Chains A and B, each alone.
Chain A
Amino acid sequence: MFSFKPDRSQYPAPGPDGKLQIDLETGKYLKLWQGPNHPGITGNMSVELTVCGDEVVEGKTHVGYLHRGFEKLMERRTFIQVFPIVCRVCVPEPDFNEYCYAAAVEDLAGIEAPEYAQWMRTLILEMGRFNSYMMFLGGIGGALGLGITGQWMTYVRDLMLDRFEELTGARIYHMFILPGGVRGHLPEGFEGRMEEVLDTAERYLADIDRVMFSNSVFKTRTKGVGVIDPALFEPYGVTGPNARAGGVAKDLRKDSPYLVYDQLDFEVATATDSDIFARATVRRADVQTSIDLIRQILKKMPKTGPAMAKIPNVLHWKIPRGETYIKGECSRGEYGYYLVTDGTGYPRRINVRGPSYTHAMALLEHLIPGTNISDVAALMVSLHTYPPEIER
């Protein structure tokens, strides 16, 4: 009914390198910048569009607006001093950085976090995942002009931030997962208050189902749009919900369980169409999984036990020469920390593997040609990328 059908015949044929031969002098094409300040952009990055009429013929991604040099900064910080930095690598889902860094340090230093800390970390990661999906569900609606989902999801996310606040002492940058364990125990009555949040979330998600997933406008604008050919998953490094929406049932929580995921019951959500709608539904299912996991964790986790393993004096903590890669399934796919140590008190090299790096740049550039200008925002949001994590 409303679907956009590009007519490629009117554009010049691609050159031998596969790229379009565009001559702006002809007046037929227009350069259009979407971002870095634009409501249809997932954070501080921009897409340089070449349009012809309302069709995008080429899109180039530009990042760098948010570069803070974290990886280099970390090489000038002691192992404990890296701890407050890592969360800032990814604002919307910071806890994965804390976990990956802590686990990497523990791996090379030969420390095992206590059981209580393992459960607590899992809880924190699922809470973070939940919040990350709140931003997605709000954002994808917003990208298509459905503003109310953003308001609802921000509210629900805020309720979860209240739980983060009472548990970790902070709302955004929790700084709770220390190398060696976690900083504390659950506050009294936490389970009850969390249950209230999850109840509220489920009520709002039911409304999301009605207002968005059962909305013919939303379906029309997302079904069959932004399809990622599953053949591209491997070469483009597509992981997480983006791949699962294309039928790849891969989830590190299942495939290489870390923390206590092997003690939890959950299914990996998948879809087949690999379009914007499929990616949204996978994430909608993932939210429910997170809600269920939070409930399970709170029920199963030990009530007491040490939160921290014995660690050396952090002021002169030296870690033997070594390297390790710690990965986990964040809300966007595989998140990993590659840590190299050289026996000194400072990391030799830290490399952060964020899924947004591949999804938001190479993959997006590949998907953009042939889309309608008005679909670019939805396409971009559907890949669920966070520029701060692209730019370490």
Chain B
Amino acid sequence: MGLREVLTPFTVWKHVFDDPVTIKQPIGRPAAERYRGFHQNDLDTCIGCGTCEAICQNGAIDMVAVAGYDPEKGNSGLKPQIDYGRCCWCALCVDVCMTGSLTMSNEYTWVDTDPDAFRFVPGLEEPWKDDEEGYEREGKRVLSGIERIHMEEMEPEARIGNFDEIVAGYSRAEAILEADRCVECGLCVATCPAHMSIPDYIAAVRDQDYDRGLQLLYETNPFSEVCGRVCTHKCEGSCAALHEGDPIAIRWLKRHIIDEVPFDRRIELIGQPAEPTGRKVAIIGAGPAGLTAAFDLARAGHGVVVYEALAHAGGMMRYGIPEYRLPYDALDRDIGVIEAMGVEIRTNCRVGRDVTMDELRRDHDAVVLTIGLHMGRSTRVPGTEGAGVEKAVDLLRRITDGEKVPLAEQIVVIGGGNVAMDIARSMARLQKAEFGKVGITLTALEDIDHFLADPEEVVESREEGVKIFDARGPQEVMRDAEGKVTGLRTWRVKSIFDAEGRFAPAYDQSDERVHAGSMVIEAIGQAADTSLLGAALTEALEWNRGRIKIDTAFRTSEPWLFAAGDAVKGPDVISAVADGHRVARTVMEKLAAREVAQ
């Protein structure tokens, strides 16, 4: 140990002349750009799905109502409130956020004497709410799946020549993967007219517990075979997953559950109806609303007879929706379960012809009217009278009945809704079988972005060779000297909706077009055929702008008569199912009240 080792340490005295390295003012020191500081939330894009709350391992986040942000479709209106006494700044809430609205600022110094000040809703008034800097996740969310699991479908060439079902259904492995993407926010439940327990039955798919899944389906919907295929799936339109990816395939998952449970097992799982009450209810119309009400009433032990004018039960589900979207055997299984509950369905029994309203009223404790919209509307533009012009609903009904329907090599369809797509695609199939090629022109008032038809219907129609001309207003069905249809004359629609979103088409008469075709099919709208009521009852009932007036519980102005479904509300199967449940409850309340009175 020499002198060197005694002296060397002193060489570092050179640092005496260095500037100090300490930060004199630590408060206010800017943090790094991606620093995880106090949260920021873009309240206008936040949908209140609560995924941040679900992932927070500290329980630091509560979803709370904030003045000025009301619930709406796909948005709970709630906003995350963060308790910084609990927050650990891990930013999992930012990473898991479904819309990307939740981020963090790089602010981290804040002094306040009020401890409650550190629990607040980010995005309202904190000074850093609009700061650019701070933590944001890189790219899209990675903590839950973005892409929908592909559903196998028949290729256009394979499907156009027949009425076989297009969609294959998920395999178990596919269904589990798709179910995995759900974050269980429940925004869909609020949107679904029947308020189905969507996150719960999706969880049942993940858990591979199809018995539980089926029971959950039947709690709110006896038409899962049907809705699993053709539901307008508004739920998917409010799915939190759609903001940075594809919405969960809720409809396909519902179908997957029902696909996995054999028919007999379904009846076993649902269980026997309650003891007979001796009460009798007549239901007019075996569509989704009527049969749902029948199911509920029969489950409660009431005697139910459903009167159906056509040869088979199902209403528009059978006579409106083509077989390639909804095979009849699937519908039959749903109806079969309902019949197994003791519901009697009298087909080919038209009220007003085979049985009168008075008889129904006399023989039953209540009558429920669920007649749907089976009368096609016509544009009544010049030329619509006479041969060569048909209504879509009539043709669809005849196709279901196996009748030979009029056909032409070139057909013009008027309408932009699902019925228009249904008839266009059905006729395309018939054309393919008859002529070997498709010749369908479809014109609609709406521009393609505002079509009322489901987007996939538009896509698939085009794949099958349907030519779509959007924003065209029909003016005249052209006929030659012999009166044969030669085409449809249209004007371009400049705008279709007014400021309030109501129909108010304005035409550009200079942009005229004639769509050639020897047959025109109108698919613009439908009306209820209320002639079965008879003049006296029509006169006795109260009406509301063309529809039978009902209250919120689906009571008409006649105490014994109830009405539900498309004829009074509309416009789709799942809404009809929801109505069916509601009207059944009203009827049961009425029956129970009478029980007490007696």
Determine how close the nearest CB of chain A comes to the CB of B37; give it in whole angstroms.
9
Contact of B34 (CB < 8 Å), options: A78, A166, A219, A311: A166
Q: A84-B90, A211-B9, A315-B51 are known contacts. Are A166 and B33 too (CB-CB below 8 A)? A: yes
Distance, CA A185 to CA B137, complexed state (A): 11
**Chain A residue at minimal CB-CB distance from B184:** A315
Q: Are B96 and A314 in contact (CB under 8 A)?
A: yes
A307: Cβ under 8 A from any B Cβ: yes
| B contact residues around A82 at 8 Å (CB) | 57
Map CB proximity to A onto B374-406 as digits: 1 under 8 Å, 0 otherwise.
000000000000000000000000000000000
| B contact residues around A170 at 8 Å (CB) | 35-36, 89
A253: Cβ under 8 A from any B Cβ: no
Q: Are B31 and A165 in contact (CB under 8 A)?
A: yes
Q: Are A84 and B57 in contact (CB under 8 A)?
A: yes
Q: Are B92 and A210 in contact (CB under 8 A)?
A: no
Q: Are A180 and B142 in contact (CB under 8 A)?
A: yes
Q: A169-B32, A187-B33, A207-B15 are known contacts. Are A311 and B142 too (CB-CB below 8 A)? A: yes
B495: Cβ under 8 A from any A Cβ: no
| A contact residues around B95 at 8 Å (CB) | 183
Which of the 9-residue segments B159-167, B175-183, B424-432, B481-489 touches chain A? B175-183
**Chain A residue at minimal CB-CB distance from B88:** A84
Q: Are A85 and B32 in contact (CB under 8 A)?
A: no
| B contact residues around A166 at 8 Å (CB) | 32-34
B116: Cβ under 8 A from any A Cβ: no
Map CB proximity to B onto A79-95 as digits: 1 under 8 Å, 0 otherwise.
01111110000000000
A67: Cβ under 8 A from any B Cβ: no
B536: Cβ under 8 A from any A Cβ: no
Map CB proximity to A onto B20-32 as digits: 1 under 8 Å, 0 otherwise.
0100000000011
Q: Are A183 and B55 in contact (CB under 8 A)?
A: no
Map CB proximity to A onto B259-284 as digits: 1 under 8 Å, 0 otherwise.
00000000000000000000000000
Q: Are A313 and B8 in contact (CB under 8 A)?
A: no
Distance, CA A219 to CA B4, complexed state (A): 13
Contact of B12 (CB < 8 Å), options: A184, A211, A216: A211
Contact of A84 (CB < 8 Å), options: B9, B34, B92, B137: B92
B6: Cβ under 8 A from any A Cβ: yes
B143: Cβ under 8 A from any A Cβ: yes
Contact of B144 (CB < 8 Å), options: A155, A220, A313: A313
Q: Which of the listed residues B1, B9, B183 has the most CB atoms from chain A within 10 Å of its own CB?
A: B9
Q: Are B8 and A210 in contact (CB under 8 A)?
A: yes
B44: Cβ under 8 A from any A Cβ: no
Name the prevailing secondary structure of the B interface residues.
Answer: loop
Q: A148-B12, A210-B8 are known contacts. Are A307 and B138 too (CB-CB below 8 A)? A: yes
Q: A311-B142, A313-B181 are known contacts. Are A77 and B57 too (CB-CB below 8 A)? A: yes
| A contact residues around B33 at 8 Å (CB) | 166, 187
| A contact residues around B183 at 8 Å (CB) | 313, 315
B492: Cβ under 8 A from any A Cβ: no
A308: Cβ under 8 A from any B Cβ: yes
| A contact residues around B210 at 8 Å (CB) | none
Contact of B6 (CB < 8 Å), options: A180, A184, A216, A307: A216
B331: Cβ under 8 A from any A Cβ: no
| A contact residues around B554 at 8 Å (CB) | none
A175: Cβ under 8 A from any B Cβ: yes
B223: Cβ under 8 A from any A Cβ: no
**Chain A residue at minimal CB-CB distance from B36:** A169
Contact of B35 (CB < 8 Å), options: A78, A169, A180: A169
Determine how close the nearest CB of chain A comes to the CB of B8; give it in whole angstroms.
4
Distance, CA A166 to CA B135, complexed state (A): 10
Q: Are A220 and B9 in contact (CB under 8 A)?
A: no
Q: Are B180 and A313 in contact (CB under 8 A)?
A: yes
**Chain A residue at minimal CB-CB distance from B35:** A169
Distance, CA A310 to CA B143, complexed state (A): 9
| A contact residues around B51 at 8 Å (CB) | 315
| A contact residues around B137 at 8 Å (CB) | 183
Q: Are A83 and B1 in contact (CB under 8 A)?
A: no
B5: Cβ under 8 A from any A Cβ: yes
B213: Cβ under 8 A from any A Cβ: no
Q: Are A219 and B5 in contact (CB under 8 A)?
A: yes
Q: Are B142 and A1 in contact (CB under 8 A)?
A: no
Q: Are A165 and B32 in contact (CB under 8 A)?
A: yes
B318: Cβ under 8 A from any A Cβ: no
Q: A169-B135, A315-B96 are known contacts. Are A210 and B143 too (CB-CB below 8 A)? A: no
| B contact residues around A169 at 8 Å (CB) | 32, 34-36, 91, 104, 135
| B contact residues around A148 at 8 Å (CB) | 12
Map CB proximity to B onto A150-164 as digits: 1 under 8 Å, 0 otherwise.
000001000000100
Distance, CA A208 to CA B145, complexed state (A): 51
Determine how close the nearest CB of chain B comes to the CB of A193; give it in whole angstroms.
11
Map CB proximity to A onto B47-74 as digits: 1 under 8 Å, 0 otherwise.
0000100110100000000000000000
A316: Cβ under 8 A from any B Cβ: yes
Distance, CA A82 to CA B88, complexed state (A): 12
Distance, CA A148 to CA B12, complexed state (A): 10
Distance, CA A159 to CA B292, complexed state (A): 70
Q: Are B138 and A183 in contact (CB under 8 A)?
A: yes
Q: Which residues from 62 to 85 on chain A have a C-beta closer than 8 Å to any C-beta of chain B?
A: 77-78, 80-85
Q: Are B9 and A210 in contact (CB under 8 A)?
A: yes
Q: Are A185 and B35 in contact (CB under 8 A)?
A: no
Q: Are A314 and B144 in contact (CB under 8 A)?
A: yes
Distance, CA A311 to CA B90, complexed state (A): 18
Contact of B55 (CB < 8 Å), options: A85, A307, A315: A315
**Chain B residue at minimal CB-CB distance from A181:** B142
Determine how close the nearest CB of chain A comes to the CB of B69; give it in whole angstroms.
24
Q: Are A314 and B55 in contact (CB under 8 A)?
A: yes
Q: Are B5 and A81 in contact (CB under 8 A)?
A: no
Determine how close the nearest CB of chain B comes to the CB of A188; give it in whole angstroms.
10
Distance, CA A120 to CA B284, complexed state (A): 69
Distance, CA A77 to CA B88, complexed state (A): 15
Map CB proximity to A onto B91-105 as digits: 1 under 8 Å, 0 otherwise.
110011000000010
| B contact residues around A272 at 8 Å (CB) | none
B472: Cβ under 8 A from any A Cβ: no
5 residue pairs A–B, Cβ–Cβ below 8 Å: A165-B32, A184-B34, A212-B9, A214-B9, A316-B184
Question: B residues engaging A (CB < 8 A)?
Answer: 1, 4-6, 8-9, 11-12, 15, 21, 31-36, 51, 54-55, 57, 88-92, 95-96, 104, 135, 137-138, 142-145, 180-184, 203, 206
Extra 4 A-B pairs, beta carbons < 8 Å, given A187-B32, A316-B203, A316-B206: A85-B57, A175-B36, A211-B8, A315-B51
Counting from the closest, the 3 A-B pairs by CB-CB distance are A84-B90, A81-B57, A216-B5
